[in-house]
Amino acid sequence: MQEQEKTRYHLVFSGTVQAVGFRYRAAHAAGSLGLTGWVKNRWDGTVEMEAQGRPDEIRRMIAMIAESRYIVIENVQSREIALESESGFHIR
């Protein structure tokens, strides 16, 4: 089986995503899967993220975030963007 290529996505999550531990859960999930990128709250109540890694790992990270009883993801806007050279996953 051929290994998937890395990709990078810019994501915006809406729903019950602020003041519920979303960013910390995202950082933990991303770190456990070896993803790189960042996550931050936005002024409008959404959470913005860039995540880089294999597409299946990014999907798994989102599923891990959604497992929280306090986080309710109602919508995810995503678009593929250029890869970046970085290490780790950071809360901004």
CA distance 15 to 53: 25
- Residue of 23, 60, 69, 79 marked active site: 23
* SS3 (DSSP) at 87: coil
Catalytic residue status for 23:
yes
Catalytic residue status for 54:
no
Buried b (16+ CB within 10 A) or exposed e, 2-21: eeeeebbbebbbbbebbebe
- Residue of 8, 41, 75, 92 marked active site: 41
At 71, give phi and psi (nearest 5°): -90, 130
Residues with catalytic roles: 23, 41
